[in-house]
Structure 1
Amino acid sequence: MAPRSGGAGVTDPVYLSPPDIGELEESYLLRAIRAGRFDPDGPELNAFEREVAARVGVGYALGLSSGTAALHMALLAVGAGPDSVVVVPTLTFAATANAVTYTGAEPVFVDCDTATGNLDVELLSDLLGRLVDAGRRVAAVLAVDINGRCVDYDRLLPLCAATGIPVVEDAAQALGSTYRGRCAGTFGQVGIYSFSHNKIMTTSAGGMLVSDDATLVARARHLANQAREPVPHYEHRDVGYNYRLSTLLAALGRAQLGRLDSMIARRQALRDRYTRLFASVPGTRILGAGDPGSNCWLTSVVVEPERAGWQAGHLAAHLAALGVESRPMWKPMHRQPVYADRQAALTGAADQLFASSLSLPSGSALTDNQVERVFAGITEFLEGRR
């Protein structure tokens, strides 16, 4: 793993995925501030949109205030509404399901594949058949690329195309990832990225909608800018939203985008080291390991207590005592009180991953000293369990 300067005292916390910000980002922000353009259509934002679109290979990009806002706009653009349902992986962050609810559509949950944590395409096929047979209008399938590993789009896209159901790709965790050489976020009719504080690159808060569909992006842009009509006075034919990305945050994003490859490389190096460490530990595996296209946003270890002789929570407690942050995978949406009464197609896979997984410090901003603290702590724990 490439060396990284900086040292932390043993009492300093080690975070899961801290922002990786330096002098380049500072210079871009100062330049934007001194330019004095803070309107929602300034040159920094326009340039950031063009650069993201070029990076991932799509025609159009729309900078927004969060990944959640991008999901909301994407779902409205493909026709989600009160008369429809949207299929959502149950193993995901709440924002995925919340964005569906914002549109008035009903989220229907589908379980995951145990090897990757991504949605179970075979189970989805059966679910879509039952929804169509029941006369439900399926507005979209939301595909979430967990921990930066893409969904099996070779199987998913033909399935949805055969039924005429749009795919919305939630690539919030997957900017810079690829599948069969194609960039994450570009497989559906529309895709989104998140730039929140702990993502692969950050603007502190923010997101991006991307698509090759000019009409779709124009509609989303209109709604995200308070749905103001193009007339001299303020006129509105639709209910709009204040979702545009700040031009200052766009400047920060441009600096981050220029460093994206190096930040991914460091996370991949951390993933490789975790993989080697746990390779000799019975009853453990790295979720989604072996995918060269993953940006390795987070590395999660899955533990089989019967074989390992310990539980993921035991390792989490040990690391917490050392000031090292870790966390389980997402609590499944069908287990969240707010969504517990929603329809779901389940195999138990997401429940099992939630109970048996632990996400470990994976950020590109971790110093060498912090990385050594993490690995020393894990090694100490493992030796104590032998």
Structure 2
Amino acid sequence: MKKYLLSPPHMSGEEQIYIEQAFKDNWIAPLGPNVVEFEKKIAEYNGVEDCLVTSSGTSAIHLALRLLGVTHGDTVFCSTFTFIASINPAIYLGAKPVFIDSDYETWGMCPKSLEKALQAAKNNGKLPKVIIVVHLYGQSAQIEDIISIASKYGIPVIEDAAEALGAEYNGKKLGTFGEFGIFSFNGNKIITTSGGGALIGKSKSAIQRARFLSSQAKEDKPYYYHKEIGYNYRLSNVLAGIGIAQMNVLDQRIAKKRDIFSTYKTYLGAITDISFMPENIRSYGNRWLTTLLFSKEIKDSSICILNERGIETRRLWKPLHTQPIFKNCQFYSATGDVSSILYKHGMCLPSGTMLTNEDISIIAREVMNCNVFFNRSVSK
């Protein structure tokens, strides 16, 4: 039985050229020409002055928080509808998370919920140090509204664009609106280096500072000399070689992801019990994963049925404010816990860029035949 994975890596065929060059030159250890080239490509693609590639997207968030001075006892606001890696680095630094609900328009952070939380924090004399906004499934949150609200209160914004490399809002790349933007090159992302991430920002000097911290904060002396704590967060020269080749096909991957979404919508869009993740009129998503909502609540057993048929599916993110580890954390919503509704009704479909139209038709047919998702029998 053929298996349809959620988002498997898709190599361009040129990765081996850069890997072999690294081996030929013995640039196996971290740093080297591939790292320099990969950082240059990411910076140019996003229209920023500099970029730091890191060992993971999580480490890039950690560095951004460190640069913004987050420390023990601070508060960090974060989208609740996301993977735990979005907020974990704030916990590493001893900060306290406050979670902000989603809106139906983007599934990202709700500007009204953010304003409500900031006003409450101001009244309590404890504004957050940072706001972390997540761009979900390759789609933009209402980032301009969020930046505007954050600016009123003087709070810097980090864009967690781990899933949204190449996506835009009003023609501007995601990750370039806030003080810092981060990307992930995990194995399931739109492009991959097996594992890795990147940090970009408005200030070139800030990225240079992050580069220093990511290399164990070693001072520029002819011996090992340290005045502060740093981290081992650099991406290796070998993996950066994979990234160079992947960047060369990024726009092709985005076009394919968007085509996959359109094809799914052709097969499933007429079913009244299904709605797809919306795309804000001002945004252009990379459609990293095709995601949809059913009018009926999804059960774990329903996901298992498709998985047993060779179709890897996954529920949408379980909101962080509902996770046991964060049960005592504050949560703000202006409209009644939208994120939990999305979680209860939502599912991700296989979205790998090697899928054919025939593959998508097979997957769509299996979804339609799985009546546990529907309030009525569906046939097409």
Deviations 1:12-63 (A, max 9, x none): 3211000001421222211222121134331110111011000010111001
Residue 375 of structure 1: how far off its partner (Å)? 2.5
Report SS of the residue matched to 1:297: coil
Contact 1:19 1:365 in 2 (8 A): no
- Alignment-derived partner of residue 3 in structure 1: none
Gaps of 5+ in 1: 1-10
Residue 313 of structure 1: how far off its partner (Å)? 5.2
Deviations 1:172-215 (A, max 9, x none): 00001010000011110110000000001000000000012022
Q: Tell me how far apart the structure 1 counterparts of residues 22 and 188 of structure 2 sit (CA, whole Å).
A: 23
Q: Sort the Cα spacing of 1:371 and 1:281 in 2 relative to 1 into closer, same or farther, 3 A.
A: closer
Q: Tell me how far apart the structure 2 counterparts of residues 132 and 247 of structure 1 sit (CA, whole Å).
A: 46
Matches within 5 A, 1:161-240: 161-240=151-230
- Alignment-derived partner of residue 7 in structure 1: none
1:348 to 334, 337, 356: 337
Residue 224 of structure 1: how far off its partner (Å)? 0.8
Report SS of the residue matched to 2:77: strand
Q: Tell me how far apart the structure 1 counterparts of residues 154 and 29 of structure 2 sit (CA, whole Å).
A: 39
- Alignment-derived partner of residue 290 in structure 2: 299
Q: Tell me how far apart the structure 2 counterparts of residues 136 and 82 of structure 1 sit (CA, whole Å).
A: 14
Report SS of the residue matched to 1:138: coil
Deviations 1:323-372 (A, max 9, x none): 11001111110111111111111322111111100000111133555434
2:377 to 368, 380, 385: 385
Residue 84 of structure 1: how far off its partner (Å)? 1.2
1:322 to 2:309 alignment = yes
Contact 1:312 1:358 in 2 (8 A): no
Q: Which moved more, 1:48-57 or 1:155-164?
A: 155-164
Q: Tell me how far apart the structure 2 counterparts of residues 105 and 214 of structure 1 sit (CA, whole Å).
A: 26
Deviations 1:53-76 (A, max 9, x none): 000101110010000000000111
- Alignment-derived partner of residue 18 in structure 1: 8
Report SS of the residue matched to 1:36: coil
Q: Sort the Cα spacing of 1:312 and 1:186 in 2 relative to 1 into closer, same or farther, 3 A.
A: farther
- Alignment-derived partner of residue 124 in structure 1: 114
Q: Tell me how far apart the structure 2 counterparts of residues 31 and 370 of structure 1 sit (CA, whole Å).
A: 36
Residue 102 of structure 1: how far off its partner (Å)? 1.2
Gaps of 5+ in 2: none
- Corresponding letter in the other structure for 1:333: L
1:44 to 2:31 alignment = no
- Alignment-derived partner of residue 75 in structure 1: 65
Report SS of the residue matched to 1:385: coil
Q: Tell me how far apart the structure 2 counterparts of residues 374 and 29 of structure 1 sit (CA, whole Å).
A: 35
- Alignment-derived partner of residue 5 in structure 1: none
- Alignment-derived partner of residue 238 in structure 2: 248
2:350 to 349, 352, 361: 361
Q: Which moved more, 1:66-75 or 1:278-287?
A: 278-287
* Percent of residue pairs identical: 33
Q: Tell me how far apart the structure 1 counterparts of residues 280 and 201 of structure 2 sit (CA, whole Å).
A: 28
Matches within 5 A, 1:258-337: 258-289=248-279, 293-305=284-296, 311=298, 316-337=303-324
- Alignment-derived partner of residue 6 in structure 1: none
Q: Sort the Cα spacing of 1:63 and 1:365 in 2 relative to 1 into closer, same or farther, 3 A.
A: same
Report SS of the residue matched to 1:302: strand
Q: Tell me how far apart the structure 2 counterparts of residues 35 and 58 of structure 1 sit (CA, whole Å).
A: 30
Contact 2:79 2:134 in 1 (8 A): yes
1:53 to 43, 48, 73: 43
Residue 126 of structure 1: how far off its partner (Å)? 1.1
* TM-score of the superposed pair, with normalisation by structure 2: 0.93
Q: Tell me how far apart the structure 1 counterparts of residues 165 and 243 of structure 2 sit (CA, whole Å).
A: 12
Report SS of the residue matched to 2:131: strand
Contact 1:315 1:378 in 2 (8 A): no
Q: Which moved more, 1:375-384 or 1:325-334?
A: 375-384
Report how many aligned residue pairs link the two structures: 372
Contact 1:66 1:194 in 2 (8 A): yes
Residue 218 of structure 1: how far off its partner (Å)? 1.8
Report SS of the residue matched to 1:47: helix
- Corresponding letter in the other structure for 2:52: L
- Corresponding letter in the other structure for 1:12: K
Matches within 5 A, 1:3-14: 11-14=1-4
* TM-score of the superposed pair, with normalisation by structure 1: 0.92
